[in-house]
């Protein structure tokens, strides 16, 4: 029990159980409808992949505000390559290399340039979005129908046993990232750096390397999320990913990861993404305007963070 209470994601576990019970009692027909489950699963996968990447950066006391624009530019690069007869595997590799490059540039500017990650990635948010407008002149085509039937596009955007592959991918990658975070040397370094950089450095943690990998992973996950979206849904737009950086950060924080770094779980991040998506879906399904959701995110953020903080304080008092 004490181990459970110590979990940073306890707040979101309670939150998810609460909404599950609430919607089961209040609107069971809609809540257990396969269409609803599928819709929630689809967007949870998109947001969850973005948020997992963001978690790596938040865990080391940094932030990445460029993920929405990176999501957009990588997605548009992928579509552009597909439309120029580049094979889908190669298009995927090249688009992901672009994501990696963005992550490395962010890391280099933060580490070598000694700039705040908020400034660097805020610049990235505008720069990459502007680049999308310049390159596309406002119009982008979707992934061609024929390409979406290929095995590779199906692997990312198709379905297995009626479940979206994007959602399965989220679960698999979420598990692997959780193992990486809690069971590997790199994960240990990551948490140590987030907990206390000076102490981590004194214990030989290669701060630069850990930071670089965290930023690279963040951009890679943003890129992957975009490609999963576009192989599933044909539509694209230059507004792809607009505002998603804040939603991803909200999912991470709601999931129990501290913005001060060093404490958080991948399960919490995935549950945070599920929580935000499920509540929005139900708010709309129950007939409330979708704009209510925006206020709700604020309330949920404050409530769950307060629960987490109170639990943490209580544990500290009781030793």
Partner 1 sequence: MKRFFTHLWLWLSLCLPFAGAVFAQDDHYRFVMVSHVGPNDPNMIWLTTSMKTFNEKYPGVKTEYLSTNEYSLQNFIAILNQAIATHPDGIAVPILNNEALQPILDKAVESGIPVVAFNIPDARPVGERIKYLTYVGGDEYQTGLKMGEFVIDQANAGKVPKPVKIMCANHDAAHQGLKARVRGMTDAMKKIGVPVDELIIGSDPAKARSIMQSYLSTHKDVNYLYSLGTISCPWVYSVADQMGLKPKLSDKGVTIVTMDDSPNSLEGIKDGKILATHNQGFWFQGYLPMEILYYYKRMGIYPLNDVLTGPVIINPDNVDQYIKSVKSIIGEDAYKKQLTW
Out of 222, 227, 240, 304, point to the residue binding partner 1 (CB under 8 A).
240
CA distances from 135 to 73, 131, 139, 227 (A): 10, 6, 9, 18
Q: Looking at 54-62, 128-136, 203-211, 298-306, which segment touches partner 1 (CB under 8 A)?
A: 128-136
Minimum CB–partner distance for residue 249 and partner 1 (Å)? 15
**Under 8 Å between Cβ of 264 and 182:** no
In contact, 270 and 252? CB cutoff 8 Å: no
Residue closer to partner 1 by CB (options 43, 215) is 43
DSSP state of 158: S
Q: Which is nearer to partner 1, 18 or 133 (CB)?
A: 133
Name which of 58, 10, 7, 53 is nearest 194 in CA terms. 58
CA dihedral 225, 265, 117, 194 (to 10 degrees): -150
* Selection from 113, 40, 64 nearest residue 270 by Cα: 40
Q: Which of 290, 298, 309, 310 binds partner 1 (CB under 8 A)?
A: 290
Shortest distance, CB of residue 114 to partner 1, whole angstroms? Answer: 30
For residue 130, the number of C-alpha atoms closer than 13 Å in the C-beta half-sphere is 6
**Smallest distance, Å, CB 270 to partner 1?**
17
Q: Closest Cα to residue 66, out of 138, 117, 116? A: 117
Report which of 109, 99, 58, 108 is spatially closest to residue 78, judged by C-alpha positions: 99
277 touches partner 1 (CB under 8 A): yes
Per-residue contact string for residues 61-100; x = within reach of partner 1 by CB under 8 A = ----------------------------------------
User: Does the protein bind partner 1 through residue 194 (CB under 8 A)?
Assistant: no
Selected binder of partner 1 within 25, 139, 161, 198 (CB under 8 A): 139
String of contacts with partner 1 for each residue 28-67, x by CB under 8 A: --x--x-xx--x--xx--x---------------------
- Looking at beta carbons only, is 201 or 235 nearer to partner 1? 235
Maximal CA-CA distance, the chain: 63
- Applying CB under 8 A, the residues found at the interface with partner 1 are 30, 33, 35-36, 39, 42-43, 46, 129-130, 133-134, 136-142, 229, 233-244, 277, 280-282, 284-287, 289-291
């Amino acid at each position: 029990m004490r181990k459970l209470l110590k979990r940073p994601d306890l707040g979101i576990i309670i939150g998810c159980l609460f909404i599950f019970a609430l919607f089961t009692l209040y609107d069971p027909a809609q809540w257990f409808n396969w269409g609803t489950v599928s819709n929630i699963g689809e967007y949870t996968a998109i947001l969850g992949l973005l948020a997992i990447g963001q978690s790596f950066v938040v865990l080391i006391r940094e932030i990445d505000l460029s993920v929405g624009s990176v999501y957009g530019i990588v997605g548009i690069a992928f579509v552009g390559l597909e439309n120029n007869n580049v094979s889908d595997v190669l298009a995927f590799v090249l688009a992901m290399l672009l994501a990696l490059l963005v992550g490395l540039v962010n890391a280099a500017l933060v580490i070598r340039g000694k700039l705040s990650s908020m400034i660097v990635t805020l610049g990235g948010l505008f720069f990459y979005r502007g680049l999308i407008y310049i390159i596309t002149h406002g119009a982008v085509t979707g992934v061609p129908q024929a390409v979406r039937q290929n095995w590779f596009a199906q692997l990312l955007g198709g379905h297995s046993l009626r479940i979206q592959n994007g959602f399965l991918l989220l679960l698999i990658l979420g598990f692997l990232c959780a193992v990486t975070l809690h069971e590997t040397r790199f994960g240990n370094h990551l948490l140590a750096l987030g907990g206390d950089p000076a102490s981590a450095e004194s214990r030989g943690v290669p701060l630069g390397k850990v930071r670089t990998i965290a930023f690279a992973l963040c951009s890679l996950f943003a890129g992957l999320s975009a490609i999963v979206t576009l192989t599933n849904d044909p539509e694209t737009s230059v507004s792809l990913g607009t505002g998603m950086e804040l939603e991803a950060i909200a999912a991470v924080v709601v999931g129990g990861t501290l913005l001060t770094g060093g404490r958080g779980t991948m399960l919490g991040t995935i549950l945070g993404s599920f929580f935000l998506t499920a509540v929005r879906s139900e708010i709309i399904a129950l007939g409330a305007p979708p704009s209510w959701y925006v206020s709700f995110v604020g309330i949920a953020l404050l409530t769950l963070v307060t629960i987490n903080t109170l639990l943490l304080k209580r544990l500290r008092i009781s030793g």
